[in-house]
Amino acid sequence: MNMRGITMRKISEILRLHFDAKLGIRKVARSLNISVGVVQKYVARAKAHNLSWPLPPNMSETEVELLLKSTQTGMAKSTAKARTDCRLIHEELKRKGVTLELLWEEYCQAEENPLSYSRYCYYYRGWKKQQKRSMRQAHRAGEKVFIDYSGKTFDIIDPETGEIRSTEIFVGVLGASSYTYAEATWSQQLPDFLAAQGRMFEFFGGVTELVVPDNLKSAVTHPCYYDPDINPTYAQFIEHYGTAVLPARPYRPKDKAKVESGVQVVQRWILARLRHQTFVGLNQLNAAIRQ
């Protein structure tokens, strides 16, 4: 049966039999003498719009029919689902006081066609069930800071030449609290790398027991699974601050999961919001990042 040709009466019956009478998709289709695919589509669209049975008293049958027959809205919801970053939700929920409802409210502010709260939770919980179970890493307060570069540059105006120049985004994340530091530098070269770490320690107000870099060339001259070689100048820097360096193992993403999550937060919640602004020099950009 063509979806546009189905009557509102049958649409209502589909919803009533499935949500109220608790009949399965095939039983509803057999009862109403329509195809399983039609029932599946209307049930899916009803769930996407947070509709069940009885229908909302403030909506007319015509409004419900237009809503459920609109393919454009369904596409918008599918797009919104695709933009729901379940991994980022999972990391944010580890923060003290953060709830799914709070994350959903923030998500709604950023989305033009957001999912309903129930669908938002549904997709996250479905994603969570599919994840591989593994031993959770326990982080003590003050033990580790994870550092890396964003991977995505940010263009600003060079105040000396007036030309457009790309900047690198340095990110540091504390293991226990996920407290995140970010700043823009001209490069990933050793002088910029060391200066950024020094300012990070100042921002945190202290130095952790360990620094965990992601085998950056400025930190590790020879990446090795068992015994990586630390850059001599970086080793002196680490010694000066009275800490130690523990590079993440190659091909072991869980070793650096904290900073990968921090990089996503910086890219999506800071850099994305600054993309339409023009900055002259690092100081202007870093002032905006700190704000």
For range 114-132, the mean pLDDT:
83
Question: DSSP class of residue 8?
Answer: H
Please give the residue that has the higher pLDDT: either 179 or 55: 179
Output the pLDDT for position 187: 92
Does the structure show a pLDDT above 60 at 117? yes
Q: Is the pLDDT of residue 219 over 80?
A: no
44-98 per-position pLDDT tens digit:
888 888 888 888 887 777 778 877 776 444 444 445 554 567 887 888 888 777 8
Q: How confident is the model at residue 265 (pLDDT cuts 50, 70, 90)?
A: confident
Mean pLDDT across 114-129:
84
Fold of 144-290: Nucleotidyltransferase; domain 5 (3.30.420)
Over the chain, what is the mean pLDDT?
80
Q: Where are the alpha helices (DSSP H) in the chain?
A: 8-15, 25-32, 36-48, 61-69, 71-82, 86-92, 100-110, 117-130, 190-204, 232-240, 257-266, 272-274, 281-290
Choice between 252 and 105, residue whose per-residue pLDDT is larger: 105
Q: Read off the pLDDT of each residue in 105-113 and give the average, rounded to a whole number.
A: 74
Phi/psi of residue 166, nearest 5 degrees: -85, 145
More confident residue, 4 or 174: 174
Q: Is the pTM of this model over 0.75?
A: no
Confidence of residue 193 (pLDDT cuts 50, 70, 90): very high
What is the reported pLDDT for 227?
A: 44
Domain borders along the chain are 3-69, 81-130, 144-290
The model's confidence at residue 284, banded by pLDDT at 50, 70 and 90, is very high
**Is beta strand 180-185 parallel, antiparallel or unpaired with respect to 164-174?**
antiparallel
Distance of alpha carbon 217 from alpha carbon 233, whole angstroms:
12
Determine the average pLDDT of the residues in 136-164.
Answer: 85
Backbone angles phi, psi at 11, to 5 degrees: -60, -45
**pLDDT over 80 (residue 2):** no
Report the alpha-carbon distance of residue 19 to residue 22 in Å, rounded: 5
**What is the phi/psi pair of residue 218, to 5°?**
-70, -20
pLDDT value at residue 120: 86
